Structure 1
Amino acid sequence: MSGLPDRTDVLVIGGGVIGTSAACRLAEAGVGTVLLESGALGSGTSGTTAGVVRTYFPGNPLISSLAVRSLAAYQEFAERTGTDLGLERIGLLVLFTDEQQVQDFRDTRAAQQAAGVDVELVTAAEAARINPLVDERTVLAAAWAPEAYACDPPAIVRGYAAAARQAGAVLRTETPVTGIDPDGLVHTPAGSIRADTVVCAAGPWAGTVAAMAGVHLPVTTYPVEMLLADAAGSAPRDALPMTMHPSSLRIRSWGDRILVGMGRPGPDETRDAWLQRVSHHLGTTFPALAGQGLEHGWSGNLDVSPDGMAFIGRDPSRPFVYAAGFSGQGICQAPAAGEIVHDLVLGKESWIDTAGLSTARCPGVPAGTA
């Protein structure tokens, strides 16, 4: 591997979907861009999710607006570059089990639609028609959002990385950052590089990277595990939609099996007890899956913010931009996040008011400086 350049306009730290999206956007705008990744591209949070790009985020129209813009950008990127992102429409079904959830949907539907989300309230019977595994007796109603797509996260990362390189960006893997000086000199085992602006898109390591630059980024690490279950004999042949239950249980088709997620064991809960809890919710909501064994699929760490919404902003006292804390939703927001990072770096007015995305929204958290 050749050494690092002596300097760059922008140094992006993190080679997942957020970092490669930002690097692609900056490089295509003619900005000198170097990206550093401590492992392989897409080896962090980007490979941990259920692989679904969706536009509807209950209770948060701001995230939904980022997701709507991102879905359009993915479709444009695939058409423009010929990259197969594996997009296959499956839809999103959000189950409601009490009246307050239904009322919350009604209260926020107008804001969701204003954000560009196509979503409607459906009856329990309609929910069971959309996903035949649902026991309609266990739900009151559901939200149905057809604009949700299965995707190929590694292909998305590869696509953005290739486009960034083609536009002139330098991408270095297996190159962890070990220090960041106040003057923008960034240190790695492969040498040091001076950057006019540093962009932190390091996922679960974002807080550590930011601290090297003297910036406080309140991102924590949340381990998750995805499980696989065999499809019951009565399961439909067509792909099931991503289906979310208030318990945090979620399922979708995964080839000829069922992908199951429900977070992780609680602080004082054994993995066996957690698996039993997952099995209970699975069998109650989707009776055809009762008794199906759950196998480990994959696991990893998410970068989580205190309120579950990403931090995207610029430190007020130094040339340091951050995009982290996506809480497992980064694949749905990466193109829009890359666009916002581009605007922050270049000092351009963004398509969205970014004030609500900065760390300043969290009480007791400084605007950025540690």
Structure 2
Amino acid sequence: MSAQRVEHAEVVVIGGGVIGTSIACQLAEAGVGVVLLERGQLGAGSSGTTAGVVRAYFPGSPLIGELAVRSVAAYHALAARTGIELLRERVGFLVLCTERQQVEEFRREQAEQRAAGVEVELLTAAAAARRNPLLDEGAIVAAAWSPEAYACDPAAIVHAYATAAERAGAVLRTRTPVTAIDEDGLVHTPAGSIRAETIVCAAGPWADTVAAMAGVELPVTTYPVDLLLTDAPAPALPDLPMTLHPSSLRIRSWGDRILVGMGRPGAEETKAQWRSRVADQLGATYPALAGRRVEHGWSGDLDVSPDGLPVLGRDPSRPFVYAAGFSGQGLCQAPAAGELVRDLVLGNEGNTYDRLGVQRFQPSSGILRG
């Protein structure tokens, strides 16, 4: 390794998904010299295994809603700038309430959500059933409705950011895994080493592994998730909004089929048992889908923090910046995450970092989670 030429870069971004390419784009357009390293192909990790929806409403988390609202606006601007269609159609996001307590929780935070720029309202059960005609109106008491949710092509978003980053001078290298990181910022790969003034970890499910190479502990874990498909009950069924049930069951139209997700198997549950539980909940919530076979669609890995919010900040003892723990929602937050990391690198940070950094998990921090 010592015989190989050592390159230099102001910033090395590790990870070529939607978060990493957004960061590379934002930094390069700010005049920062950037090299992005991706172990496989761009967008081949968790960015390519999502439900393909960008939304602004995150129940219980107005802070993330604020980042998502910023991100939706940024996607529209990026599409206009690159000519690449990013947010294809507005499908809306319906969050079902099966208990009055959930309605009260919505009402308590609605003003804060709206202050964050999130457009959301409470619907009656009947109005919710008009939005999603498969819904059993009697199974819910109300629903939150946010129109700002869009079907998208994750690969197109990654491509748009990668294209813009390269046009601004960033160097993007695929099939270039990071094998080691020295204390002085030397990043090793099979193709050679790069000495970085700042390292940015945006490696998704591999973020904790990459951070550990640099001697940084990130409180994120990785677990696999499966998305399922089932047949629609009728070919003339209108497009369904992304619909979330309190059980974590979520569905949306997927071509002429229906995409289904619901967490993951429990600790003592097999995949077959979990799929049976998903099918039962699906039939209880949407009677027209009762008894229908659910089959495997695709799998992916999610990086998740202890409170389910992103972990974004800078290590206090070394030039190491991290953006991880997006829980499969990176598409919704990538533009804002890129802006936040750019500001961190440039030294223009604000109080958002206090609420998203790892210090929030320290008992003495006094920072409220979420």
TM-score range, shorter chain: over 0.9
Q: Give the aligned residue type for 2:361.
A: C
- 1:242-266 per-position Cα deviation (integer Å, ceiling 9, x unaligned): 0000000000000000000012211
In the aligned structure 2, how far is the partner of 1:181 from the partner of 1:230?
Answer: 51
Contact 1:131–1:241 under 8 Å retained in 2: yes
Contact 1:132–1:236 under 8 Å retained in 2: no
Task: Name 1:358's counterpart in structure 2.
Answer: 357
5 Å matches for 1:110-121?
Answer: 110-121=111-122
- State the TM-score, normalized to the length of structure 2: 0.95
Task: Name 1:293's counterpart in structure 2.
Answer: 293
Q: CA deviation at 1:270?
A: 1.1
In the aligned structure 2, how far is the partner of 1:365 from the partner of 1:177?
Answer: 34
Q: Over aligned residues, Cα RMSD in angstroms?
A: 1.4
Contact 1:17–1:42 under 8 Å retained in 2: yes
Contact 1:55–1:71 under 8 Å retained in 2: yes
Q: CA deviation at 1:5?
A: 6.8
Contact 2:75–2:87 under 8 Å retained in 1: no
- 1:160-197 per-position Cα deviation (integer Å, ceiling 9, x unaligned): 01111111111111111111111110001111000000
Q: CA deviation at 1:272?
A: 1.2
Q: CA deviation at 1:86?
A: 4.3
5 Å matches for 1:207-286?
Answer: 207-233=208-234, 237-286=237-286
- State the TM-score, normalized to the length of structure 1: 0.95
Q: 1:5 to 1:132 in 2, by over 3 A?
A: farther
Task: Name 2:161's counterpart in structure 1.
Answer: 160
> Aligned residue pairs: how many?
362
Task: Name 1:199's counterpart in structure 2.
Answer: 200
In the aligned structure 2, how far is the partner of 1:98 from the partner of 1:348?
Answer: 44
Secondary structure at the aligned position of 2:218 is classed as coil
Contact 1:4–1:190 under 8 Å retained in 2: no
- 1:305-340 per-position Cα deviation (integer Å, ceiling 9, x unaligned): 000000110111111100000011110000000000
Q: Give the aligned residue type for 1:322.
A: Y
Task: Name 1:338's counterpart in structure 2.
Answer: 338
Task: Name 2:93's counterpart in structure 1.
Answer: 92
Task: Give the percent of matched residue pairs that are identical in Structure 1 and Structure 2.
Answer: 69
Contact 1:343–1:349 under 8 Å retained in 2: yes
In the aligned structure 1, how far is the partner of 2:18 from the partner of 2:51?
Answer: 14
Q: Give the aligned residue type for 1:122.
A: L
Contact 2:340–2:349 under 8 Å retained in 1: no
In the aligned structure 2, how far is the partner of 1:329 from the partner of 1:9?
Answer: 28
- 1:57-98 per-position Cα deviation (integer Å, ceiling 9, x unaligned): 000000100000000000010011111114210000000001
In the aligned structure 2, how far is the partner of 1:65 from the partner of 1:278?
Answer: 31
Task: Name 1:313's counterpart in structure 2.
Answer: 313
Q: CA deviation at 1:303?
A: 0.5
Contact 1:18–1:201 under 8 Å retained in 2: yes
Contact 1:93–1:242 under 8 Å retained in 2: yes
Contact 1:359–1:365 under 8 Å retained in 2: no
Contact 1:17–1:156 under 8 Å retained in 2: yes
Q: 1:340 to 1:226 in 2, by over 3 A?
A: same
Q: CA deviation at 1:198?
A: 0.1
5 Å matches for 1:62-77?
Answer: 62-77=63-78
Q: Give the aligned residue type for 2:357.
A: S
Larger CA deviation: 334-343 vs 312-321: 312-321
Structure 1: 5+ residue stretches without partners: none
